[in-house]
Amino acid sequence: MYELNSTVDGVSIKRAWRQLAWSRVSANVWYLGFTSLLTDVSSEMITSILPVYLVLHLHMTPLAFGAIDGLYQGVAALVRTGSGVVSDRLRRYKSVAVVGYAVSAVSRLGLLLVGARWAPLAAVVTGDRVGKGIRTAPRDTLIALSTVPDRLATSFGVHRALDAAGAMIGPVVAFGILAFLPGQFDLVFLTSFCIAIVGLAVTCPVRTDPARRRCRRTCGSCAGPRVPGRSERCVAEKADRRHASRN
């Protein structure tokens, strides 16, 4: 009877909850994860219907669609490296990531305005991928800075799970709208834009320098003038000491 009661009291429940790996993930990671979920819902709504919209609805030639699709797939990879360099130099990871999310959101609205004109449509589609390239590196850096080294895999796993969930939900929402309202592509674009704005708003509570704040709160060694990388090294050293004490 004693063992049964001890397993259901408040202390034991709290201890069991804390032992769950995902329950120890930083709030920053959850905010960024839900931002990625909503942004991927918005992005995949467009990606999934883009061939139908361009070829069947706007009667674009397969060659023109192939050119736009190539831009859509290739631009993010080209922008990603530059975004990482800029983020490291400015040390403003949240600001750069928010710019990327905002560029992608605005591009959704652009699809409502450009119509069937090839060049503006290509520019809007390219803008969406530019936004993705801008936000990826600083977002991943924020996740890393928000997490102690021995929980990095868990944090990135949580983020990727939410990201993948968004990629799954997006096409379902888009084709669900078209199933009930055939040909209403503008409604799909508007819905995608609204979801992207909500995702952008979720970034507001993200802390800009989580490693520095965590270090200052726990040991105070980073309370002086800001030195690039000092807080991250301090957090890593404390994690190493904690890991060594366990062994």
Most confident option among 80-94, 109-123, 145-159: 145-159
Task: Tell me the pLDDT tens digit for each residue of 68-84.
Answer: 777 766 776 778 777 87
Look at 128 and 243; give whichever has higher pLDDT: 128
> Is there a contact between 64 and 58 (Cβ–Cβ < 8 Å)?
no
Task: Tell me the pLDDT tens digit for each residue of 133-157.
Answer: 888 889 999 999 888 888 888 889 9
The percent of residues above 70 in pLDDT, for the chain, comes to 72
How sure is the predictor about 123, in pLDDT bands with cuts at 50, 70 and 90?
confident
Angstrom distance (rounded) from CA 39 to CA 193: 9
Backbone angles phi, psi at 131, to 5 degrees: -60, -40
Instruction: Kindly state the tokens that stand for 210.
Output: 């989580």
How sure is the predictor about 20, in pLDDT bands with cuts at 50, 70 and 90?
low
3-state DSSP assignment of residue 242: helix
* C-alpha 14, offset from chain centre: 30
Could you count the other beta carbons within 10 Å of the beta carbon of residue 13? 11
Could you count the other beta carbons within 10 Å of the beta carbon of residue 143? 23
